[in-house]
Structure 1
Amino acid sequence: MLASLLGTYLDLYFVGKDLYQFPMRPFPEIFSINIAFTLVGLPLLVLIFLRTVSQVNKWGKAGIILFVSLLMPIFEKLAEVLGLFVHADGWQHLYTFFGYLLFLTIITLFFEGMTKQNS
């Protein structure tokens, strides 16, 4: 739930600042972001991510977060080639790396905090 909310708000912010846009998205007359990704794709990917990081030690978690963060600019570039995503001219894919590094760290810490609280 947190990942979906964060993803939605971040997309709304960056689209509102004209840093990127989603040319192909469901209900383009209503939503300026790709709600299919933020409400379905992102939560599913985060569930897989959390399942994976819950099975490793702290160094494994750090490695997975780093690895996934390094993969995201590659997937972002692929989405651009497929016409799903368009960035402003000043956008650097390094922003994506650091953004996902922070995003995944927050999600992991929140998940661990909730897991410890419930046990």
Structure 2
Amino acid sequence: MNTAKHSKKWNLQLSQRKPFSARSKHFSAYISTILFASWLGTYLDLYFVGKQWYSFPVRPYSNIFTINIAFTLLGLPILTTFFLYFIEKMKTWKKGVFIVTISLIMMLSEKQSEAIGWFVHNDQWKHSYSFFGYVLFMTIIWKFYRWMSSM
């Protein structure tokens, strides 16, 4: 009579996989956070455009929307997905460095967008506002994701 032995490699692979409920919880936290980031970004843009701090001269459906809905409905969810993917894998102190670095990159991207004509700030705007705004925004998004993951 032959008996089959289980491979140690097979047992190791099984033990590393998350149970289905943990994966679906993780997926739900991602989706919830992406939707929250898009919603928050949309309302922040509506607020700052309404206060005339900045504007989007080139935007889809400009006769209907005062903000760039392509960014808030496509760009922001994609960027949020990458942000969550990378920040999840980092140690605590690196997360802060990552947020600061991404905030600097976004601030510089705004300047480039202004040079191209996609984005216009009013004369009193200081780009340091953008930097601190992105730091706060990403910190809120990360905290929201952690909160959703713990539920």
Q: TM-score range by the shorter chain?
A: over 0.9
Of the three residues 45, 54, 61, the one matched with 1:27 is 61
Q: Which moved more, 1:53-62 or 1:31-40?
A: 53-62
Please say if 1:14 is aligned against 2:48. yes
Q: Tell me, in whole angstroms, the C-alpha distance in 2 between the residues paired with 1:77 and 1:40.
A: 21
Q: Structure 1: where are the runs of 5+ without partners?
A: none
Identity of matched residues, %:
53
TM-score, with length taken from structure 2: 0.76
For 2:71, the equivalent position in structure 1 comes to 37
- Extract unaligned runs of 5+ from structure 2: 1-34
Aligned length: 117
| Structure 1 equivalent of residue 129 of structure 2 | 95
Following TM superposition, by how much is the alpha carbon of 1:5 offset from its aligned partner in structure 2, in angstroms?
A: 0.5
Aligned to 2:87: 53
Deviation at 1:70, TM superposition (A): 1.4
Pick from 68, 75, 82: which aligns with 2:109? 75
> Residue 116 of structure 1: CA displacement?
2.1
Distance in 2 between the 1:60 and 1:108 partners?
13
Q: Distance in 2 between matches of 1:73 and 1:64?
A: 14
**Aligned equivalents of 1:60, 1:33: Cα separation in 2:** 33
Q: What's the CA shift string for 1:30-55, capped at 9, x where partnerless?
A: 00000000000011001100000000
Q: Report the TM-score, using the length of structure 1 for normalisation.
A: 0.96
